[in-house]
Chains A and B, each alone.
Chain A
Amino acid sequence: MGVRDLVGRRFSAHAQTDVLSGRVRLGLFGAGVVAVLFAPVAQVVHPFWMDLVTHMFIFALFALSLDFVFGYAGLLSFGHAAMFGAGGYAAALLIQNVTASALLVLPAAIVVGAVVAAIIGWLSVSARGIYFAMLTLAFAQLFYTIAFNDIPAMLLGVEAVTNGDNGLVGITSLTLFGMDTGSLMSYYYLSLAILAGMLAVVTRLANSPFGRVLQAIRENEDRVAFIGYNVDRYKIVAFTISGAMAGLAGGLWVPFNSTATTSMLHWTTSGELIVMTLLGGMGTLWGPIAGAFLVVFLEDSLSAIGNWEIYLGIVYIVIVIFAPRGLAGIFQTVRKNPHPKVLLRRAGDALTTYREKVFQ
């Protein structure tokens, strides 16, 4: 029995065996067209919308990286901030000291993210489930304290490497083929292109035999090991790929934001990433992207209000109780039942289920 049979049977219950079905791809294509056309409109109406949406793109890429390892291989990483930050700091140091060329900085961020992930992954795979999450959390927090106390500077005997809690600031934007990407619009398109490209790569990977093995590991890793796969190696490779993407997101974030700071490495960044992924709908690839969009949007629009966390928290609570599969779930329900009446009934059903579960 091959792994394909195993997964095939597992997944035959769901109508689709392909990650991102044709209709979803069509939808994504439409969203891409909208995204491409959005910038010129924003330029006229309110240029800072591009800033917000670029912010969304970068975190969407970050969320995509987690979904690949979490949604597909079932590895809940609570330490993705480590790779995000490592890639970010690498980009900042390169831009400050060597070059701002995107063709050098972004690949470097990818490599640094991958190396950090390979080390953390290699050390952590023997732990399962929540323990894996906690081990990755511990490693990420180690990175945080290393950056916060600027231990590299102490070891190298120089004044500053990570520059402690002040972080690295005033990072200039990337250059691409000699052009400056500093304007809102050029960075918008750069981020959009990278996000789209990485989505394509991840979709291919998820649909490849490698991706099938990962899904099988998620479903039942003992059986996959039993048919002769080296489960740990698959997990490490998946984690490394995911880390490379997180590093890329960090490398893209730093020039955009002009700072590399310890908050990139803090556990709350990892936590926020998990929230984005679950809120969007894990294992769907496009869901976490939508989740990242929603979280960034909410944080931005609420933050002018005092103690806005109250409302953000309530949104999370309500969504997780009534829309457990996140935005992806809501979308699927709406697509299957396009009539408003049916939708209302579904909403009623959800309330009834809630009541039954609470007052059973």
Chain B
Amino acid sequence: MARVVVDVMLKPEILDPQGQAVQRALPRLGFDGISDVRQGKRFELEVDGPVDEAALARIHQVAESFLANTVIEDFTVKVEEVAEAAK
């Protein structure tokens, strides 16, 4: 068992009104000095079996075609933890 994390963020040039709304609320909560907030999505994929190159390639494909819309979003894929047995 292993966990693969896919992080999805709007591309920098795309307006993120959700992030802006959060940023605007910060001074009201007493947090100053935060000049920008952007909000993204995090997917945690629990993978059965080893996360070998082939499995990672498949997850990359899923991220690219489904979890992220690459017209507007960037994504990263990283393996968070690998159980000893899977090595």
- To the question of whether A and B form a pair in one complex, the answer is no
- Interface residues of chain A, those whose CB is within 8 Å of chain B, are none
- Interface residues of chain B, those whose CB is within 8 Å of chain A, are none
